[in-house]
Amino acid sequence: MKALVFDGHHLRLEYNHPDPVPAGDEALVRVRLAGICNTDVEIMRGYRGFTGVLGHEFVGTVEHCADPRLIGQRVVGEISCSCGECETCRAGRYTHCPQRTTLGIIGRDGALGEWLVLPMRNLHRVPPGVPDEAAVFTEPLAAAIEVLEQVHLHPTDRVYVVGDGKLGLLVAQVLSLTGCEIASVGRHPEKLALLQARGIATILANQTADLDRSADVACQVADVVVDCTGHPAGFELARRLLRPRGTLVLKSTFASRRGVALTPLVVDEIKLVGSRCGPFAPALRLLRRELVDVRSLITATYPIDDGLAAFRRARKKGTLKVLVSMV
Amino acid sequence: MKALVFDGHHLRLEYNHPDPVPAGDEALVRVRLAGICNTDVEIMRGYRGFTGVLGHEFVGTVEHCADPRLIGQRVVGEISCSCGECETCRAGRYTHCPQRTTLGIIGRDGALGEWLVLPMRNLHRVPPGVPDEAAVFTEPLAAAIEVLEQVHLHPTDRVYVVGDGKLGLLVAQVLSLTGCEIASVGRHPEKLALLQARGIATILANQTADLDRSADVACQVADVVVDCTGHPAGFELARRLLRPRGTLVLKSTFASRRGVALTPLVVDEIKLVGSRCGPFAPALRLLRRELVDVRSLITATYPIDDGLAAFRRARKKGTLKVLVSMV
């Protein structure tokens, strides 16, 4: 099959990558559309030491599996493949199974190829009204929803989302549905404009710096801050925006090895919440009702044959979501 | 002024009711549009022993007060008037102040007249894009939002809302925005149809009874159930739908004096949450973004001169919201 393969040094478009073979509990899925995530770019910088077919955001059609009801269905898939038997799995924390493989990230070929395999239990049918271009966002939207799963966000809370990348834009939209007082802080007027169009308040980061000088206005006012930057400077801004005893959600992994100072978290009695993968079913429900706008986040779609160009585009400054079409 | 006045026995339309006079911290508001709530009907059956001008749902224009920025503004108003000084108020629990008066419910004339007075701090400006017909729902919508304020609703939770009256329809819409798996249980196909139009699942109550007989299907499956019926039978259904260690929210006061059995709550370790007034600011944010459909809930609008007919209509079976216009 055709696939975008990272060999530890370079990304290659292979035309004769071996077709994946499903195990007994797995389904063979023909990928229709896949997304490029920042994590894919991080992997090419050495994150997780992964080699193989990249990609973990996709929508596809089930071609073969033991359950006849699944065959021919349009599906999306949870990316963590857990053992289902260890103490962690039996406690319901499947995405934290120490034996897990993860689609295109840990020990399992990913979605940026014509075919993939995933356990049948990982698959979710896509409702008929949700087009491929929206369904392909299920995985990152689920990650945004995970914040609501972990934190009791009150409708009276004041909330800041720091970072206007793809994930930040999804998090701001999801959290705003609770009716909370929310503003998104970012550096890109054209990205923040997507939120303004949905009636969500935004703050340009240099404006924040200005407010910062009159500390009692902008700082230590939020009940909850979500850092979607993955940069120590974003973390620092998030912390300064948070009130004492507030909740700081870390929604991005940190590419930098530079550490952050923890003493202020003790002094202000901050609750820090790390946040990663989220639940697919609520994401599909929000997509079905069009309560989140994902299609405005698409910068470009490339055919798999132009997959290397797709990655070049994904790494360009100012790019939001780049999709790769297999059909 | 013209006003709908309950004297303890009868409701009268008075043409020369004394105009209210604002105290120093109060504003005089010219009422534009007011809503009739089930609580108003309950008051006429003796609830709270209230006499005076009925009504607590309104949108109006500030005519006179000490703060010049408020004058001429279109406003809605929180209905509980607290002392601000007692231990309860200093703890932030203003709506539970033991000294409180409540618009049209406890010791204070209400909104079903040409004028009302409320403390300035109770007022919220209505955003320009929100029409009167939507703004008049701020108070009941805030009450629906109070559920999210009190309970950490997870996007993966299975939730039932029992009761398809006005409040039940608002609660179902608000909770559905979290992405949770939700269904509304009611007895009125035409009311449930309003939710179906928004993509929210519904169950006709007699269907529930059917499912009930195969107990393992419909019963003890929900993580959270909200009872919006105010009837012991609704409470009983809500309890049966709830899983052990689930959360049962009581969103309506109970007109019946018949008690309910509490032992099942102990056996199943149920958490019971009483829920009343809610926060106005999130309600106005959801109305501004049109994330909740309130205008479909309007059955009819009457001029104040036909106020007695408005109440007759409000008490008719199958009626949703009846509004009374003062202008």
Model ipTM?
0.89
Q: Are residues B262 and B174 in the same domain?
A: yes
pLDDT at residue A219 in the model: 73
B164 inside domain: yes
B280 inside domain: no
CA dihedral in degrees (A37, A41, A46, A47; nearest 10)?
-20
Domain count, chain B: 2
Size of interface A-B (CB pairs under 8 A): 72
Give the mutation candidate from B271, B277, B289, B294 for the A interface (greatest A CB count, under 10 A).
B289
Q: Are residues B123 and B204 in the same domain?
A: no
Q: Could you tell me if A90 lies within 8 Å of chain B, comparing CB atoms?
A: no
Q: Give the domain extent around A194.
A: 141-274
pLDDT band of residue B260 (cuts 50, 70, 90) is confident
pLDDT band of residue B173 (cuts 50, 70, 90) is very high
pLDDT at residue A74 in the model: 98
Report the CATH number that the domain containing residue A11 is assigned in CATH.
Answer: 3.90.180.10
Q: Are residues B7 and B132 in the same domain?
A: yes
pLDDT, average across residues B77-85: 96
Locate the chain A residue with the closest alpha carbon to B174.
A178
pLDDT band of residue B186 (cuts 50, 70, 90) is very high
Distance, CA of B324 to CA of A254 (rounded, Å): 57
Report the CATH number that the domain containing residue B186 is assigned in CATH.
Answer: 3.40.50.720
Q: Could you tell me if A14 lies within 8 Å of chain B, comparing CB atoms?
A: no
Residues of chain A with pLDDT under 70: 207-218, 255-257
CB-based contact A289 B174, cutoff 8 Å: no
pLDDT band of residue B209 (cuts 50, 70, 90) is low
Q: Which of B156, B279, B291 sits opposite A279 (nearest CB)?
A: B156
Distances (CA, A) of B217 to B68, B200, B242: 60, 20, 12
- Chain A residues in contact with B154 by the CB 8 A cut-off are 148-149
Asked whether the predicted pLDDT for residue B170 surpasses 80, the reply is: yes
- Chain B residues in contact with A177 by the CB 8 A cut-off are 177-179, 291
A95 inside domain: yes
pLDDT at residue B46 in the model: 85
A303 inside domain: yes
Distance, CA of B37 to CA of B32 (rounded, Å): 17
- Chain B residues in contact with A278 by the CB 8 A cut-off are 155
Say if CB B158 and CB B221 are below 8 A apart: yes
pLDDT, average across residues B32-56: 94
Asked whether the predicted pLDDT for residue B217 surpasses 50, the reply is: no
Provide, for chain B, the percentages of residues in helix, strand and coil under a 3-state DSSP scheme, each rounded to the nearest 5.
30, 30, 40
pLDDT at residue B220 in the model: 75
DSSP state of B128: T
Distance, CA of A197 to CA of A190 (rounded, Å): 11
Q: Are residues A146 and A255 in the same domain?
A: yes
The H or E element containing residue B21 is: none
| Side-chain-side CA neighbours of residue A84 (13 Å) | 5
pLDDT at residue B208 in the model: 59
B281 inside domain: no
- Percent residues over pLDDT 70 in chain B: 95
Q: Are residues B258 and B316 in the same domain?
A: no
Distance, CA of A29 to CA of A111 (rounded, Å): 9
Q: Could you tell me if A149 lies within 8 Å of chain B, comparing CB atoms?
A: yes
The tens digit of pLDDT for each residue in A248-285 reads 999 987 766 677 888 989 999 999 999 999 999 999 99
The 3-state secondary structure of B132-191 reads HHHHCCHHHHHHHHHHHHHCCCCCCCEEEEECCCHHHHHHHHHHHCCCCEEEEEECCHHH
pLDDT at residue A47 in the model: 83
pLDDT at residue A209 in the model: 56
* Chain B, window 190-219: residues with a beta carbon less than 8 angstroms from a chain A beta carbon: 198-199
Q: Which of B180, B199, B282 sits opposite A155 (nearest CB)?
A: B282
pLDDT band of residue B210 (cuts 50, 70, 90) is low
A288 inside domain: no
List of residues 6+ apart from B316 with CB closer than 8 A = none
